[in-house]
Amino acid sequence: MHMRPTLSWTPPAGLRPGTTDPEPVADALRSGGVLVLSGAGMSTESGIPDYRGEGGSLRRHTPMTYQEFTADAQARRRYWARSHLGWRTFGRARPNAGHRAVAAFGRRGLLSGVITQNVDGLHQAAGSAGVVELHGSLERVVCLSCGSFEPRREVALRLAQANPGFEPVAAALNPDGDADLTDEQVGDFRVVPCARCAGVLKPDVVFFGESVPPGRVEHCRALVADAGSLLVLGSSLTVMSGLRFVRQAARAGKPVLIVNNDPTRGDEHALTRVALPLGPTLTALADRLDVPLDEDPAT
């Protein structure tokens, strides 16, 4: 069964405003057992836009839904053309200070785990271990017919070979890794099939309107149950895939702390929402807790 996509949320009147005091987050980290849940805002400082913040992609772009992708060959052509171009930029993104702070907290033993709604792999690139990719990863491609997986870099090579000279200039990049192209720019872009069975290929990510695999959800629920507190970083919590874990933590009496500039759908369940930029805030918290940050491990 597929979820109906939730693309927007309007904050209700009377919602408690955010604060600029990160001390409750520092207290939670000092206590340890913090489970991090990160969203698209975590990666904006790496040059990847978010969906709903100021300048977010939903202001100009409607994401591909699972239903449209599976039902319409022309939609798949548009998606793969845009995604193929976007992958070149997306794949060059580097972890920012926020990612490195989360990795440092993990090395210090302050975290019980990291769940991310992002598909960019930047937490792992920064050195975080055991990251649960709630919405999958753009690093992998799955065949909808035989279920086999293929590394994205290999599919990208086959797409490049099938579309020599495909070098349009994109208007913008989107959080799901595709790029804004016109129909004229997409042109007659050729989609490649599964190398094993010639079936339809799809990035191994959860599209809007698609359900997160049940086993992954249960794994995340177990992480929430074992955590001392839940720290939400850069997520509006508009979609239920992340909000359900906030609700679970709140029902269990676990502190929920949010760092996000804008109001979120989880604010009513949170002990506090710190309305400050993620990178500088997490860097300052690491300094306050005497947790050293490594430089970008990929440099």
Say if residue 118 carries a ligand binding annotation: yes
Say if residue 109 carries a ligand binding annotation: no
135 is catalytic: yes
Say if residue 49 carries a ligand binding annotation: yes
Among 84, 99, 123, 135, which one carries the catalytic annotation? 135
Say if residue 74 carries a ligand binding annotation: no
Long-range contacts of 68-71 (CB under 8 A, 24+ apart): 69/202, 69/207, 70/144, 70/200, 70/202
Residue 189 DSSP code: P
Say if residue 54 carries a ligand binding annotation: yes
What is the C-alpha to C-alpha distance for residues 123 and 130, in angstroms, rounded to an integer?
10
Say if residue 115 carries a ligand binding annotation: no
Say if residue 180 carries a ligand binding annotation: no
SS (H, E, C) 109-176: CCEEEEEECCCCCHHHHHCCCCCEECCEEEEEEEECCCCCEEEHHHHHHHHHHHCCCCCCCCCCECCC
Say if residue 174 carries a ligand binding annotation: no
Q: Which residues are annotated as a binding site?
A: 39-59, 117-120, 143, 146, 194, 197, 234-236, 278
Just list the catalytic residues. 135
Q: Which residues are annotated as a binding site for Zn(2+)?
A: 143, 146, 194, 197
